[in-house]
Every structure is written in C-alpha cells, then in structure tokens.
C-alpha cells in the first residue's frame, strides 16, 4: 500500500474513534488516555493489525497510539530524490537519532522501528489536535 493510501485509510479510522469519544464528552486528557495501547487493543481491535498479536510496534511500557504514524515523517510516493542510483521515498524531518534510512534494494525508506518519539503521552499532548488529518497533512511532500 502506498504511504498516501495508508494515511487516508488510517485517518478515517482515527476520525471515527475520536468522533465516538466526543459524543461521550471526554476531555483531551481522557481522549489521549483512550489511545493507550492496552486500551486500544481491547476496544478498537481494527485500528492496528498488531493488536491481534498483542504486539507493540515499539518496546515501551506505555505506548500511546494517537499519533501513529508520526508528524515528523516525510514522504512522497513518487520518490523524493535519487541517491546513488536508489530512490528515496521517505525521511525524518527532525533527523531523530533513533531513526535511520533503510535501504531495500533500489528503494530508501525511513525506518522508525527504534524511535519512540510520537508514542509518548507527553509528545501527544504537545502536538494534539482532534483532527489527526490536520496534524499529518505536513507529512506528504508536495512537489
Ligand atoms: S524517526 Fe522517530 S521522529 Fe522521525 S519520523 Fe520516525 S518516528 Fe518520527
């Protein structure tokens, strides 16, 4: 699946959950708490394929899923640039020390598997918006 399609599909699922929570008059704090991995895997099993395996995408005691994927992720499905005969499709805009550029054949993609930045509650609070799509709209590089 392309980055763009994933973003679109994930945005629909995210919006549906937030709208449901708003009908329950939950505060911002409670909405963020609702997106805790342990709660989400029980109540929103379709939100992430890893929930069915009881598996976290990152090894963290408390993992928050509100800002999956990450506002710092940048991508272009058409390719960003060519680097040494390979095409780069994504990178990290803050050059996180825990991220890296993964090379997969002729393709270069950002590998966030060791980075926990967007999954802490503190980070979610800092970048919170009820509209996940609004937060993530900077991720796609417009050419
Ligand atoms: S490396 Fe970390 S901060 Fe950078 S895009 Fe990936 S998850 Fe976000």
Confidence at residue 143, expressed as pLDDT on a 0 to 100 scale: 73
What is the per-residue pLDDT across 85-107, written as a single tens digit (0 to 9) for each?
A: 999 999 999 999 999 999 999 99
Query: Would you say the CB of residue 96 lies under 6 angstroms from ligand 1?
Result: yes
70 Cβ below 6 A of ligand 1: yes
C-alpha of residue 24 to centroid of ligand 1, in Å: 32
- pLDDT tens for residues 31-57? 999 999 999 999 999 999 999 999 999
- Our CA dihedral for 35, 99, 110, 56, rounded to 10 degrees, sits at -30
Asked whether 99 lines ligand 1 (CB < 6 A), one says: yes
* Cα 88–chain centre separation: 19
C-alpha to C-alpha distance for 59 and 132, rounded to whole angstroms = 24
* pLDDT at residue 63 greater than cutoff 80: yes
């Amino acid at each position: 699946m392309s980055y763009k399609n994933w973003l679109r599909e994930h945005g629909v699922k995210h919006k549906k959950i937030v709208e449901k929570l708003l009908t329950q008059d939950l505060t911002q704090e409670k909405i963020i708490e609702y997106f805790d991995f342990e709660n989400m895997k029980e109540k929103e099993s379709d939100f992430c394929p890893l929930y069915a395996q009881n598996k976290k995408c990152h090894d963290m005691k408390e993992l928050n899923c509100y800002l999956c994927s990450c506002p710092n992720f940048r991508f272009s499905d058409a390719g960003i640039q060519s680097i040494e005969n390979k095409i780069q499709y994504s990178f990290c805009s803050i050059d996180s020390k825990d991220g890296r550029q993964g090379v997969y054949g002729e393709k270069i993609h950002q590998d966030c598997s060791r980075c926990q930045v967007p999954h802490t509650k503190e980070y979610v609070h800092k970048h919170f918006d009820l509209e996940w799509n609004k937060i993530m709209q900077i991720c796609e590089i417009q050419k």
